[in-house]
């Protein structure tokens, strides 16, 4: 009887060893990639946003970073729809259109994540205020360079957007085009964008004029 017990223990050891080895391999290969989503209203996207985007790309790599924004139009804070924002971003800053994704909820970008495999981790890039709110829940936790990622279906990681040198709010941007002379609007546009583009200038000024009219 003692021999049989001893034999069973010896016989099980290789199996257990192999099982443990497989579990270790699975754990190592569980997260093969990560996706970084810079979400926001971007009403409209300007140099300040681009500087933040560039800092994110520098840290995480261009192929891993996406911009997530909604199609919501709601005066007075959101006059630009997704098509408008996509046009401004691609034309003025050269970011590829396939990196700009329309999402219903910027903090839950399922439209992007559902296309990714389970072994991909999700990093959300947000401002300080939104970071505090997201981290108070169960799904998100603060990003750390040394973190052991879990799949996006189980956990998300909050990376606070780096502060940039261009500190200007969307409200200030829109106000800069309001009640100004054509020359003043032209100069304001050149402060916000790397070059002058009449098509984008007309788009922004037209939408802000519409926004002002519908906000009264």
pLDDT band at residue 18, thresholds of 50, 70 and 90? low
Domain that holds residue 208: 170-214
Instruction: Judge if 53 and 94 occupy the same domain.
Output: yes
60-79 confidence digits (pLDDT tens) = 999 999 999 999 999 999 99
Three-point CA angle 121, 122, 123, nearest 5°: 125
CA–CA gap between residue 111 and residue 105 (Å, rounded): 9
Mean pLDDT across the stretch 146-164?
Answer: 91
User: Where would I find the beta strands (DSSP E) of 71-133?
Assistant: 100-102, 120-126
Answer with the one of 120, 138, 160 that is the final residue of a domain.
160
- Are residues 67 and 143 located together in one domain of the fold? yes
Predicted TM-score of the model (pTM): 0.82
Mean pLDDT of 178-182: 91
Instruction: State residue 80's pLDDT score.
Output: 97
Note whether 44 and 148 are same-domain residues. Answer: yes
Residue 204 covered by a domain:
yes
**Is 80 inside any structural domain?**
yes
> Is the residue at 11 inside a domain?
no
Domain count of the fold of the chain? 2
């Amino acid at each position: 009887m003692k021999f049989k017990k001893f034999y069973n223990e010896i016989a099980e050891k290789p199996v257990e060893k192999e099982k443990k080895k497989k579990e270790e391999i699975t754990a190592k290969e569980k997260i093969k990639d990560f996706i970084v989503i810079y979400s926001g209203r971007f009403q409209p996207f300007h140099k300040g946003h681009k500087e933040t985007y560039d800092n994110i790309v520098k840290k995480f790599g261009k192929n891993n970073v996406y911009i997530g924004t909604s199609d919501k139009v709601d005066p007075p804070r959101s006059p630009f729809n997704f098509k408008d924002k996509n046009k401004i971003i691609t034309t003025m800053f050269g970011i590829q259109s396939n990196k700009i994704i329309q999402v219903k909820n910027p903090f839950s970008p399922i439209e992007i994540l559902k296309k990714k495999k389970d072994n991909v981790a999700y990093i959300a890039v947000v401002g300080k205020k939104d970071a505090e709110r997201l981290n108070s829940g169960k799904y998100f936790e603060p990003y750390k360079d040394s973190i052991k990622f879990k799949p996006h279906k189980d956990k998300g990681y909050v990376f606070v957007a780096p502060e940039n040198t261009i500190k200007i709010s969307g409200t200030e941007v829109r106000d800069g085009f309001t009640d100004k002379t054509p020359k003043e609007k032209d100069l304001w546009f050149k402060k916000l964008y790397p070059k002058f583009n009449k098509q984008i200038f007309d788009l922004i000024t037209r939408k802000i004029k519409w926004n002002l009219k519908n906000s009264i």
